[in-house]
């Protein structure tokens, strides 16, 4: 009966603090015991996973709230972070430069078509209508 109550307390602690080590310390449960329960008790394992997800969502909400406060306080780092992750014009961009031909080697038309098609599929070239040769 004590184990059932301890498991419930641990689940509740994981919802508040989604860090296994800290939740175990606050409830007086060893990490090894936590993982043994997780392996042996399917219901506990499911509840622990749900509690960790709920706790992580709570921490994310708190972090976003703090980020909004920092933006309101004109914190430039917070402003940059927000724009880079929420506005396409400020997102990190990747630029790729490549040559289809080596100095001493010329690709066959089939090889060049294959490389061009691969680059298009990787969204590294603008979408150009494929010719019949490229689709062969």
pTM above 0.75, yes or no: no
Q: Which range among 22-26, 77-81, 88-92, 124-128 shows the weakest confidence by mean pLDDT?
A: 124-128
Instruction: Determine the average pLDDT of the residues in 43-59.
Output: 96
CA separation for the pair 68, 82 (Å, rounded): 9
Place 120 in a pLDDT band, splitting at 50, 70 and 90.
Answer: confident
- In this structure, what are the phi and psi dihedrals at residue 73, rounded to the nearest 5 degrees? -85, 10
Residues 6+ apart with CB under 8 A from 55: 14, 15, 16, 17, 18
* Per-residue model confidence as pLDDT tens digits over 5-21: 999 999 999 999 999 99
Q: Is pLDDT of 64 > 60?
A: yes
CA separation for the pair 128, 111 (Å, rounded): 17
């Amino acid at each position: 009966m004590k184990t059932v109550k301890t498991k419930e307390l641990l689940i509740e602690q994981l919802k508040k603090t989604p860090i296994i080590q800290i939740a175990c310390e606050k409830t007086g449960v060893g990490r090894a015991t936590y993982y043994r329960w997780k392996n042996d008790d399917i219901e506990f394992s499911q509840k622990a996973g749900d509690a960790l997800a709920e706790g992580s969502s709570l921490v994310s909400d708190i972090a976003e709230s703090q980020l909004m406060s920092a933006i309101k306080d004109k914190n430039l780092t917070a402003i940059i972070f927000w724009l880079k992750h929420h506005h396409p014009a400020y997102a990190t961009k990747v630029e790729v430069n490549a040559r289809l031909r080596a100095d001493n080697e010329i690709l066959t038309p089939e090889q060049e078509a294959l490389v061009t098609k691969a680059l298009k599929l990787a969204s590294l070239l603008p979408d150009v209508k494929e010719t019949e040769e490229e689709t062969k």
